[in-house]
Structure 1
Amino acid sequence: MTEEQNTEEKEIQDLIKTMKDYLDKEYLAGKKLRNFHPKMHGLLKGSLSILPDLPEELKQGLFKNPGVYQTWIRLSNAPPKVKSDKPASGRGLAIKVLDIPGEVIEPDPIGVPTQNFLLTTSPILSAWNISLYAKAIKAVLFGLWEQIKFAVNPSHWRSIFLTFKYSKKHDNLLSQTYFSGGAFKFGPALFVKFVLTPNDPNLGYTLDQAKDDNFLKSQLIKDCETKDHAFTLNVQIHKSDALQPLENTSIAWEGALIPVARLDIPQQSFDIPERIKMGEELEFSPWMGLEEHAPVGGINRARRRVYKELAAYRKSKGND
């Protein structure tokens, strides 16, 4: 192992310890929620339809042939604490595509091969290397003193600025654009980022009452009980490190959005105990998927270890 690899390994171990320490502090007994995205708005049934007549270079992996796959879609708030929906924040949309063809990198605990897409309302990940990521996570998780220590370091100021820049207030989860943050392989020759765009970006807040702390879920319940909804899954293709850096996740990629699939959300009622329980238990990781769509970059390497170990840790502590 090289010195650089040793350093990365230590940083990942420190990051995992920090996140385990937070879970132990935040949830003294009983079930431990996710470190991030613990506030779930809903787990929705959906389907992903691979578009026909894609350009030859995009007929890779999951997108090689037209087809329709069943999906689970989990919508959430990004911050580590379960708080009100009203302040500016990041929101998450995670897609689990079921029964995909081909060999996967990591098996899914649900027992069928899946392709996972983890997306948020921010086009970037503001901490662009593992060292900065670990320090930022500690500041977010452990309160004011750690935040002050992080903020007084000038080398952290850009990350702080970007975090606030892309934290926004949202009226409706079904009208947002969601981004993959990190980059992914797309077959043997391409790298891409995934961007999910709403088919109805004008959806807003329509409830006949003032917004409460859980208004995004209330709005989602009404929208899904009323009619069908849909998104388009697009790719942005890496063409140069200047416009689309693979390692530096803090730079939003420039480039056209190329549609590759349609995500349909049929009319449904999802606010039921069985669905809520399933949404809390499902594990999502960008490494659950095909080798043709393997994540790339240091942050994604860290996420592989962190997601896997923290999911196992939560399960092992769930009956304290």
Structure 2
Amino acid sequence: MAPQFVPYTADVETVEPRFDEDLQTVIEKTERYIAESVAAGATGRAVRDAHAKGYGLVRGEVEILGGLPDEYAQGIYATPGRHDALIRFSNGSPHAGADARLGSATGLALKIFDIDGPTLLADEPDTRTFDYTNINGPIFFCNTVDHYLFIQDLFLEAPSYFAQGRPGAHRFFRDFVTGKGTLDPEDWAWDEFLAFLRLSQISPMNVLLSTYWTMGAVRHGDYMAKVRIAPDPSFADAVVRRRIDPTSAAEVFRPALVAELSERPYAFDIQVQLCTDLERMPVEDVTVEWPERLSPFITVATLRIPQQDISGDGNLEKMDALSFTPWRVTAEHAPLGNIMRARKKVYRHSSILRHKLNEQQRTEPRSADELLP
């Protein structure tokens, strides 16, 4: 029997009672961290409050496939064709510095060019660009903006916790579960903590070999989905520098990426998983992985990466000046849920302040040619 996909309706989302108030506090903390990062960080520049360290800006091409089933041929995927693209590979940490100190959470941010229709960003509706900001885990460790308030503090303060060895780690875990002592025992953040533990146990590997998820749900035209960007197996099999040892050198992820792309092309599959059951595939609970037995991932596009040289310092400078946000999409692909909704304003405020402090022009490119040959 063919799966019955749940149609999108506005009532699938619920708004937290203190959403606006808590969101403003998150924005203020984010801006304070970014401002202080100029002096406190390892780069002498303002950095992002997440994915502070980039591993490379890469040129690519997205081919939207033809002949898709109607349920998957939605929004931008309703029209087959080829689009230039840019990809930023990064570490998920809010800190820069040696790779061994940052963990193995990595991100793939994708910018697709020449997409018809206005974006959901009021101050830049006509850029004709479309972004994904995915991480190498299918879930996220925070369900509400209220919880994000203390989780944000913990991640920004993580180096000082873990510098104290096992006692510091114990305090980090305790403060995570108890909300730094603010939560009643029945409200302790066990779901978020278990999601964090799962993500923290990801083995370090070449960023080309990871699969990257939207974490939260997004609209997919008439339906709801999660989207992942997964290595094409035939290209993944050819990767030589597979396992990464962050303790072997200060920089390990970028050199491996640079070397692989200088020797061979690569490809990912862009895949969509449609929601079939809101109880077992919830929109608001991002700590829950949607079971593939209920709805498999279907490939809707191919992301091709040609062989290229990204070794120059100018590559990192161009990457740093770019802005990516899950809300630079058309309405048919709107992010869903409280955490995804919060990212709209947080990303915007973060980007504006970071560009101002770094004296970078904040403009959206019209083509990949503006940045990479």
TM-score (norm. length: structure 2):
0.78
Q: Indicate the residue corresponding to 1:176 in structure 2.
A: 210
Q: Indicate the residue corresponding to 1:136 in structure 2.
A: 151
Distance 1:66 1:107, change over 3 A: farther
Out of 25, 33, 43, the residue aligned to residue 47 of structure 2 is: 33
Distance 1:295 1:38, change over 3 A: same
Question: How many Å separate the matches in 1 of 2:220 and 2:157?
Answer: 37
Distance 1:108 1:46, change over 3 A: farther
Residue 242 (structure 1) shift: 2.1
**SS in structure 1 opposite 2:226?**
strand
Residue 278 (structure 1) shift: 1.5
Residue 56 (structure 1) shift: 1.3
Confirm whether residue 76 of structure 1 aligns to residue 93 of structure 2. no
Q: Indicate the residue corresponding to 1:63 in structure 2.
A: 77
Q: Which whole-Å deviations, capped at 9, do the CAs of 1:62-106 have from their partners, x for residues lacking one?
A: 111110000000000001111433464210000000111122212
Question: How many Å separate the matches in 2 of 1:177 and 1:206?
Answer: 14
Q: Indicate the residue corresponding to 2:30 in structure 1.
A: 19
Q: Indicate the residue corresponding to 2:176 in structure 1.
A: 150
Distance 1:84 1:249, change over 3 A: same
Computed over aligned residues only, the root mean square deviation of the Cα atoms, in angstroms, reads 2.5
Identity level (%): 27
Q: Which whole-Å deviations, capped at 9, do the CAs of 1:161-200 have from their partners, x for residues lacking one?
A: 221212222221111111110111111x200000111013
Out of 167, 187, 192, the residue aligned to residue 159 of structure 1 is: 192
Distance 1:132 1:204, change over 3 A: farther
Q: Indicate the residue corresponding to 1:114 in structure 2.
A: 129
Question: How many Å separate the matches in 1 of 2:124 and 2:250?
Answer: 33
Q: Indicate the residue corresponding to 1:205 in structure 2.
A: 241
Tell me which protein shows more strand as a share of its residues: 1
Contact 1:93 1:120 (8 Å CA) reproduced: yes
**SS in structure 1 opposite 2:71?**
helix
Distance 1:109 1:314, change over 3 A: farther
Q: Which whole-Å deviations, capped at 9, do the CAs of 1:188-231 have from their partners, x for residues lacking one?
A: x2000001110134435269x98312111111011000011000
Question: Counterparts of 1:215-254 in structure 2 under 5 Å?
Answer: 215-254=252-291
Residue 272 (structure 1) shift: 2.0
Contact 1:44 1:74 (8 Å CA) reproduced: yes
Structure 2: runs of 5 or more not aligned: 1-14, 162-167, 180-184, 360-373
For these two proteins, the number of residue pairs brought into alignment is: 315
Q: Which letter maps to 2:30?
A: M
Confirm whether residue 53 of structure 1 aligns to residue 67 of structure 2. yes
Q: Which whole-Å deviations, capped at 9, do the CAs of 1:12-57 have from their partners, x for residues lacking one?
A: 0011111122223332386311111011100000000001100012
Contact 1:171 1:204 (8 Å CA) reproduced: no
TM-score (norm. length: structure 1):
0.91
Out of 343, 361, 366, the residue aligned to residue 303 of structure 1 is: 343
Question: How many Å separate the matches in 2 of 1:99 and 1:142?
Answer: 40
Question: How many Å separate the matches in 1 of 2:348 and 2:268?
Answer: 28
Q: Which letter maps to 1:36?
A: A
Question: How many Å separate the matches in 1 of 2:73 and 2:55?
Answer: 34
Question: How many Å separate the matches in 2 of 1:142 and 1:86?
Answer: 17
Confirm whether residue 9 of structure 1 aligns to residue 20 of structure 2. yes
**SS in structure 2 opposite 1:295?**
coil
Out of 122, 141, 144, the residue aligned to residue 126 of structure 1 is: 141
Greater mean deviation of Cα atoms: 210-219 or 62-71 = 210-219
Question: How many Å separate the matches in 2 of 1:296 and 1:75?
Answer: 24
Distance 1:164 1:213, change over 3 A: farther
Question: How many Å separate the matches in 2 of 1:14 and 1:258?
Answer: 39
Distance 1:311 1:8, change over 3 A: same
